[in-house]
Structure 1
Amino acid sequence: MTSGIIRIGISGWTYAPWRGGFYPRGLKREHELAYAASRFRAIEVNATFYGPQRPDTFANWADQVPANFVFTIKAPRFITHVRRLQDAEAPIASFIASGLLRLDIHLGPILWQLPANFRFDPVRLEPFLRLLPHDTKAAAELGRRYDTRSRAAEWLEVTSGRPLRHALESRHESFRSPDCIALLRAHDVALVCGHSVKWPRLRDLTSDFAYCRLQGSKELDANGYDNAALDELACRIKAWAAGEEAPEASRTGGVAHPRKRDVFVLFDNDLRVRAPANAMELIRRLRA
């Protein structure tokens, strides 16, 4: 069995402490995305979590990155934290219609991050998962259904569908449930493997890709990962990409279907310039 594509990257790219460190001194801010995209194969976009972006913004991001690069997109907190996944069809459609598909080939997985007090509830979660479009054609159709403009946006006129992936990040222990794993597998949604000192760490594989978010080994968003931790992570990533499972003790549900998987690993320990340094160190290990 061949291995899936491994993408190591960072969460966000606009951080003042990175200037003069990760970013060369004198690099213009408008060139920071292109610089970061030349060193990593994926970047997680946080701005979409806090509010809608303009179509031209998505297009501008796409114009600055190489062909083999993708953005993972954090879904709006209005859907996950305000609506708490209820009555979500119109907000999901509006999110798509805002210009998301202008990323074109650079559109990677959409990350749905749940609040820490959101408990696993299949009655609420299953209808939401059913709404998620799994290719760009279905996404465009949903966006057009709720697009209020008099003239349909060109990025919603999609004639062929590319796969569109979704990842769910839970932050409550109640998601450590075989029923949760079965539900995500039924809807082909990846369960995020989060590494955090605050929230549960779940490692079940529930889709054809794995999504891992790293927020610090000892201190949330700030602490880096030492050599031993990066070595262990590199081994796990290679195993995931090759279709191998986590040890039984790390699983909540049954064994996942054996198949190669693409793997996304995003470092979110962005304080003190830990994220880009750790990401580059991990890339070196995977190339060795």
Structure 2
Amino acid sequence: MLCQAAGMAAPVSAPIRIGIGGWTYAPWRGGVFYPPKLRQADELGHACSVLTGLEIEGTYHRLATPASYAKWAAAAPDDFVFSVKASRFCTNRRVLADAGEGIATFLDSGLTELGPKLGPILWQFMATKQFDPDDFGAFLRLLPATHKGVKLRHAIEPRHESFRDPAFIAMARAAGVAIVFADAKFPQFADLTGDFAYARLQAAQADVETGYPAAELDHWATVARGWAAGETPAGLAYVDPAPAPSMPRETFLFFINGAKERAPAAAQALIERVGRA
């Protein structure tokens, strides 16, 4: 049996956060995910007690308020982390360099009320948005490292094939932002460019109780553990063949869309495989 040599440091691994997008969805009620007769007001608390992360998606369509962010933070355990989807008015525009006012408005809407429970901000781009190096570089320079004394982390989700360009990977890496990995429908970017990893899994199947077959969940558990340990997992769709710098990366993995009714079961099955953060 192998054992750790005396004085040898244990392998370092960052937390793995696993969850779903949003928490208000009628098909999750009545015993599917939420216990029967659970009040809707208590659904967030239940989700936070079972999962290890949540992606706040409603903020993509409309700004939340400081009171809402504070209420969400109060409903979650101390070690829980939310990611926040940025307003579409910041990213769905012809000239990204002009997004400064929209970004400031979004950041001032109260997300810092989450405090230490604030995870990455997700900046998602439409599938029609193509890579313009100058304009996209200007957008990245608009993303601040802190806001009101709270550290900010940024994840960007391009959805157009033109972003599969080594210049884009280098740009994201220089800015320290993570590129979202999505497993369905859109081009994949597995390149690690920030100090955390962010995946949105969207290929759940309605006829599979856990959304994904067991073998696929095993695969994603291996990938998540690899990211958390600082590895560059093999078999994913990379743009830059050079491996990313090795460092433990806090890992965020959310089950989004696909057969949405299966998302909570998929998240719980993956948590069972990797353990709680």
Same fold (TM over 0.5): yes
Equivalent of residue 36 in structure 2, options 8, 25, 29: 25
Amino acid in structure 2 at the alignment position of 1:6: I
Does the CA-based 8 Å contact 1:194-1:214 persist in structure 2?
yes
Partner of residue 59, structure 1: 70
Q: Hey, what's the Cα distance between the residues in 2 that align with 1:174 and 1:217? A: 26
Partner of residue 150, structure 1: none
Q: How many residues align?
A: 262
Alpha-carbon spacing, 1:180–1:55, altered in 2? closer, same or farther (3 Å): same
Partner of residue 241, structure 1: 228
Shift, 1:259, TM fit:
0.6
Q: Hey, what's the Cα distance between the residues in 1 that align with 2:251 and 2:121? A: 14
* Counterpart secondary structure, 1:200: coil
Partner of residue 7, structure 2: none
Q: Which blocks of at least 5 consecutive residues in structure 1 are unaligned? A: 141-160
Q: TM-score, normalised by structure 1?
A: 0.86
Partner of residue 225, structure 1: 212
Partner deviation per Cα, 1:66-121 (whole Å, 9 max, x = no partner): 10111100000011114552311111111111111111111110000000011111
Q: Hey, what's the Cα distance between the residues in 1 that align with 2:132 and 2:261? A: 37
Pair 1:280 & 2:268 matched: yes
Amino acid in structure 1 at the alignment position of 2:176: D
**Higher percent of residues as helix:** 1
Amino acid in structure 2 at the alignment position of 1:250: A
Partner deviation per Cα, 1:225-248 (whole Å, 9 max, x = no partner): 111110111111111111111327
Pair 1:193 & 2:181 matched: yes
Does the CA-based 8 Å contact 2:204-2:259 persist in structure 1?
no
Q: CA RMSD in A?
A: 1.9
Using the TM superposition, name which of 77-86 and 64-73 deviates more. Answer: 77-86
Equivalent of residue 111 in structure 1, options 119, 122, 131: 122
Q: Hey, what's the Cα distance between the residues in 2 that align with 1:183 and 1:24? A: 46
Amino acid in structure 2 at the alignment position of 1:57: S
* Counterpart secondary structure, 1:256: coil
- Please give the residue correspondences for 1:134-283 in structure 2 after superposition, counting only pairs within 5 Å: 134-135=145-146, 139-140=147-148, 161-196=149-184, 198-217=185-204, 224-247=211-234, 250-253=237-240, 254-269=242-257, 271=259, 273-283=261-271
Shift, 1:273, TM fit:
2.0
Q: Which blocks of at least 5 consecutive residues in structure 2 are unaligned? A: 1-10
Does the CA-based 8 Å contact 1:216-1:223 persist in structure 2?
no
Alpha-carbon spacing, 1:272–1:247, altered in 2? closer, same or farther (3 Å): closer
Shift, 1:63, TM fit:
1.1
Amino acid in structure 1 at the alignment position of 2:244: A
Partner of residue 37, structure 1: 48
Partner of residue 11, structure 1: 21
Q: Percent identity?
A: 47
